[in-house]
Amino acid sequence: MRYDIAVIGAGVTGSMIARELAKYNLSVVVLEKENDVAMGSSKANSGIVHAGYDARPGTLKARLNVAGCAMMPKVASELGVPYRQNGSLVVAFCDEEMAAVQELYARGRLNGVEHLYVLGREQLFSLEPHLSPAAVGALYAPDAGIVCPYSLTIAAMGNAMDNGVELKRNFPVMSLADRGASFEISSPGETVEAAFVINAAGLYADRVAAMVGDGFFTIRPRRGEYYLFDRSIGNVVRQTVFQAPTAMGKGVLVTPTAHGNLLIGPTAEDIDDKEDKKTTAAGLEKMTLAAAKSVPGLPLNGVITAFTGLRAVGSTGDFIITQSPTHPRLIHAAAIESPGLASSPAIAAYVEAMLQGMGVLTHKRREFNPYRAPIPCPGKMGEDERYSLIAHDPAYGRIVCRCEEISEGEIRDAIRRNPPAADTDGVKRRVRAGMGRCQGGFCLPLVTELLSAELGIPMDQVTKRGPGSEILSGPVK
C-alpha cells in the first residue's frame, strides 16, 4: 500500500501530527510498534501543561511550549479530554532559591509568558496552606494546567482516525529506505510505501534516523519514578507545586492529576537501556523525601501505584524538529522531552507549517470534524441523566469496576471506538477500569471476558499489553 504520509510512532507527538494531517486531502498512516497508542513517554509522565518559563529563551522548546500551553484548552475541549488550568508554583525555601525563582520569572518574560508573578510567603500560603512552613516564596504561573497525557494521545489519534487516518499497530519499523519517489518502510510482517515520512519514534527516533544514515543526533533515556495516591488526598494541593530546578530537570513535584488523584515525582536518572521501566526502592525513597520538602506528612498508605516514565533526552538540548539533511521528504520530530506534552499542539502546527512550506499540504478537507465526544460516564452524571442513559442502554447500569464505578457500557465503548482498546491496559487507559484502589483485582476477569466477547477471541488470547502478555495461561477446572 502507498500513502502520501507515514508517521512513525503513536505517542502524543505522532498522534497530534496525525490529527493535524487529517485536515488535508491526503492518505496518512501511523505506524506504531506496540499494541496500542501512548505506550512510550506519553503514557507515564507528570501531565503538566507547563506555562513556558523553564526553557532557555530562543529555543524551540521555549517557543512551542508557550504556544502549546495557549492552544491546549481548546484542543482538550475539542477532544473531550480531562484538562484543568490549575496554575503552577515554583517554591523557594531559602534566599538562594528565591534568586532562582527571580531568574525563572525573567526567563518566562523573555519567552513571552504573559501571566507570571513572584509571590511572597503570605500570598503563597493563601494559595497553598499545606506547604511546608519552610517555604519563603514562589513563582506563580496561573496559565499552567494539568491534562491526562494518555487520554490526550488516545483522543488525538481517535479523532485523526475518525477523519480518515489509518493506524497500524504492532508495526515496529525495522527498515526505512528512500527509493526516490517514496520511502519503503518495513516491519517484520509488512511493508508500506509513503512519499513523506515523519519520524516521531520517541526514544527510538535516533535509531529510525540512523536507518537512512542520519546520525546527527542521539537520544538517551532518563528515568523518572512516581507515586500515585488515591483520590481521597487529591486536593492536598490545588496548584502544581515544583521546587527550584536543577541541571537534571524541574525537580520533584507534588500535583493533583486531571483525574483528581495526587502525584509525586519524578526522579531523574540517566540510564542506558531504553526499555528499563522498572521502579526502584532507592529511587522511590529519594523521591518521597524530596516531595516531603514541599508538602510534609503525605500519607504513604494512600499510594495506589508506583510507575516509571522514560524521558527521551536528545544530544542537542532542544527539540529536534527538522527535515533530514540528506532525505528532505523525511521530517524528524525527535528529542521531544519535557515540555513535549504541553507543546504537542504547537509541535503539530509547526510540522504542518513545514509540510506546507514543502508544498505537500495543498487541499484542506472541508468535512474535517475536530470534535470527539467523550465516552458517556454514568458515574459522573446527575441522577436524571444517568437513569435515562441506563433506560436507553442497560449496559451503562452494570458496574464492572467498583473502585472507579465504570460500567460495562463504557468498557464496550472503549473496545469499539477509535482507536479500539485491544487489551486490558488499553481499556484501563480509556475508561479507568482497573485504575482505582484495588488496581484491577476485582474487575480484571470481567474486563477480560468483555474483551474476549467483543474481539471474538478466546479468553486465553486476551492480553494485558499485546502479544506475550496473555492474562490466562490455561483452564483450571
Ligand X SMILES: Cc1cc2nc3c(=O)[nH]c(=O)nc-3n(C[C@H](O)[C@H](O)[C@H](O)COP(=O)(O)OP(=O)(O)OC[C@H]3O[C@@H](n4cnc5c(N)ncnc54)[C@H](O)[C@@H]3O)c2cc1C
Q: Which is nearer to ligand X, 64 or 361 (CB)?
A: 64
Contact set for ligand X, span 85-104 (CB under 6 A): none
Q: Is the peptide bond before 245 cis (omega within 30 degrees of 0)?
A: no
- Give yes or no for residue 423 binding ligand X (CB under 6 A): no
Residue 401: alpha-carbon gap to chain centroid: 23
Q: 469 φ, ψ to 5°?
A: -120, 40
- Cα–Cα distance for residue pair 224/265, rounded to 1 Å: 7
- The one-character DSSP state at 57 is T
**Cβ neighbours, 10 Å, residue 34:** 19
Cell of 128: 497553598
* 440 lies in the binding site for ligand X (CB under 6 A): no
CB 8 → ligand X: shortest distance, Å?
Answer: 5
**Identity of the residue, 140 or 204, whose beta carbon is nearer to ligand X in the bound complex:** 204
Spatial CA neighbour of 341 closest among 108, 31, 71: 71
Q: Show the site string, 124-163: x = touches ligand X by CB under 6 A, - = not.
A: ----------------------------------------
**In this complex, which beta carbon is closest to ligand X, that of residue 104 or of residue 173?**
173
340-369 residues in contact with ligand X (CB under 6 A) are: 340-342
By CB under 6 A, residue 11 contacts ligand X = yes
The distance of Cα 414 from the centroid of its chain, to the nearest Å, equals 18
Q: Looking at 6-14, 89-97, 354-362, 435-443, which segment touches ligand X (CB under 6 A)?
A: 6-14
Binding of residue 80 to ligand X (CB under 6 A): no
Q: Is 50 a catalytic residue?
A: yes
Single residue of 8, 91, 154, 433 touching ligand X by CB under 6 A: 8
Query: Which residue is at the shortest CB distance from ligand X?
Result: 340
Check binding of 13 to ligand X (CB under 6 A): yes
Q: Which of 84, 311, 386, 432 binds ligand X (CB under 6 A)?
A: 311
Supply 13's cell numbers: 507527538
Beta bridge partners of 119: 138
- Give 75-90 as a DSSP string: HHHHHT--EE---EEE
Segment contacting ligand X by CB under 6 A, of 3-11, 348-356, 378-386, 401-409: 3-11
Cell numbers linked to 222: 532518563
Instruction: Please classify residue 373 by burial: count the beta carbons closer than 10 Å to its beta carbon, then call 0-12 exposed, 13-18 middle and 19+ buried.
Output: exposed
Interacting residue with ligand X among 5, 20, 29, 46 (CB under 6 A)? 46
- Please tell me the number of Cα atoms within 13 Å of 99 on its side-chain side: 2
252 near ligand X, judged by CB under 6 A:
no
In 3D space, the residue among 36, 35, 34, 30 whose CA is nearest the CA of residue 15 turns out to be 30
Binding window for ligand X (CB under 6 A); candidates: 21-29, 40-48, 80-88, 388-396? 40-48
Residues that bind ligand X (CB under 6 A): 8-14, 31-34, 39-42, 45-48, 50, 171-173, 200-204, 208, 224, 266, 309-311, 336-342
Report, as residue numbers or ranges, the catalytic residues: 50
